[in-house]
Amino acid sequence: MEKILIKLDRQCLSYPIYIGKNLLGNIVGLINLNGYSQVMVLTDNVVAGFWLKKITRAVGKNAVVAVIKNGEAEKNIDTVRTIWKKMVQSKLDRRSVVVNLGGGVVCDLGGFCAGTYMRGIDFVNIPTTLLSQVDAGVGGKTGLNFFGIKNNIGIFNQPKAVLTDVVFLSTLPERELISGMAEVIKHGIVADKKYFESVVGKKPVDFSSKELIEIVKKSCLIKTAIMEKDEKEMLGKRKILNFGHTVGHAIESLSQATDRPLLHGEAVGIGMVIESKLACLSGLLKEKDYLRIKDAIKNAGLPITTPHIPVKKIIKKILVDKKNQSGRVLWSLPTAIGQVECNKEILSVNKMVKIAYENN
């Protein structure tokens, strides 16, 4: 088992990430749940079918269970109301804890509901997808989608602990595993060229459990090293992790209304290709590095285009992205593999995005 300790400026918010295989049965030993008055397990209907009985046995204490539907479409205020209602009906108090068992949607919603219920109760993340293990389950960003905009309602709220067990990945469809590779590749692009080179050309099904543990560990180390310096994106340092997410969030949101909704990693993969092309067109990134990034994403099995979504709609979403400031679109763009700069402005956003979209 590996252990990473996230050290934030506020010591009371520092917390451990446990990474390994077959850790779930020892959750009470790793994460002290005995001091809580009640435990609520939040999960989705897909994960529940595989793992709910095992976690409720491990947690004990007559855990309260809340099950939501699986998928990005459930990341809305109605689902939040459902979770809040369950908390109230179950009489959770301020000494209760929420255990989020699921992917990014469950971790985001559970962290948000825990942070807003009774002005904040503790929560623990147990991410069950590759994407949530390397990204969404770590870092403290929580929230929901509102008015058609991705993650525009939310809070920074750090868990008490994260328990990452690669055994969960054995029950995932291959598409979900491949989706997680987008964030793995992104971590290499933003901070570590050697890491990028070590994972390109490979798919998750090619990795052993030991290799998956090392990948999750390395991605978490990269993300936490950045996050520790800038927990709430106030200094600009954490913004490099937004690479691929300006276009990616727009595409992901729009795809939910189509007959081919994209997974988060799929949308981010497309976003990284288009934003790398933008960097190339703007003279920030060499053509060979753009092509290397594009090939890495394609060879991982991720899509690199979205022909079913009109570029005009994508641009419209980009113009209301939550990361914009004073009406300006601020990009996090690669200048080389292993290096990304944030707060970059592009002249003629509409024109440049259209060119990048149509020529990637």
How far is it, in rounded angstroms, from Cα 169 to Cα 171? Answer: 5
* Catalytic residue from among 86, 218, 245, 317: 245
How many residues are there in the chain? Answer: 360
Residue 187 among the catalytic residues = no
For residue 280, pLDDT beyond 90: yes
Quickly tell me which residue has 């793995």 as its tokens: 184
For residue 47, pLDDT beyond 90: yes
pLDDT in tens, 314-356: 999 999 998 999 989 999 999 999 999 999 999 899 999 999 9
Q: What is the mean pLDDT of residues 36-44?
A: 97
* Catalytic residue from among 72, 74, 176, 183: 183
Q: What is the mean pLDDT of residues 104-133?
A: 98
Q: What is the mean pLDDT of residues 272-283?
A: 97
What pLDDT score was predicted for residue 359?
83
Residue 238 among the catalytic residues = yes
What pLDDT score was predicted for residue 57?
92
Q: What are phi and psi of 100, to 5 degrees?
A: -90, 110
* Catalytic residue from among 45, 233, 286, 292: 233
Mapped onto helix, strand or coil, the DSSP state of residue 221 is: helix
For residue 24, pLDDT beyond 90: no
Q: What is the mean pLDDT of residues 230-248?
A: 95
* Catalytic residue from among 242, 275, 277, 317: 242
Residue 341 among the catalytic residues = no
Residue 183 among the catalytic residues = yes
Residue 21 among the catalytic residues = no
How far is it, in rounded angstroms, from Cα 206 to Cα 194? Answer: 19
Contacts for 213-218: CB closer than 8 Å, 24+ residues apart: 213/2, 213/19, 213/20, 213/21, 213/166, 215/134, 215/184, 216/19, 216/130, 216/133, 216/134, 216/164, 216/166, 217/2, 217/4, 217/19, 218/187, 218/192
Residue 308 among the catalytic residues = no
* Catalytic residue from among 86, 160, 238, 317: 238
pLDDT in tens, 152-188: 999 999 999 999 999 999 999 999 999 999 999 999 9
Q: Which domains does the chain have, with CATH numbers?
A: 2-171 (3.40.50.1970), 174-358 (1.20.1090.10)
What pLDDT score was predicted for residue 33?
85
pTM of the model: 0.95
> Is the Cα dihedral 164, 169, 172, 176 positive or negative?
positive
What pLDDT score was predicted for residue 12?
64
* Catalytic residue from among 150, 186, 223, 294: 223
For residue 11, pLDDT beyond 60: no
* Catalytic residue from among 75, 150, 218, 249: 249
Residue 81 among the catalytic residues = no
Residue 223 among the catalytic residues = yes
What pLDDT score was predicted for residue 25?
83
Greatest mean pLDDT among 4-18, 155-169, 197-211 lies in 155-169
What pLDDT score was predicted for residue 347?
85
* Catalytic residue from among 264, 277, 317, 323: 264
**DSSP at 123:** E
Residue 95 among the catalytic residues = no
* Catalytic residue from among 72, 100, 125, 141: 141
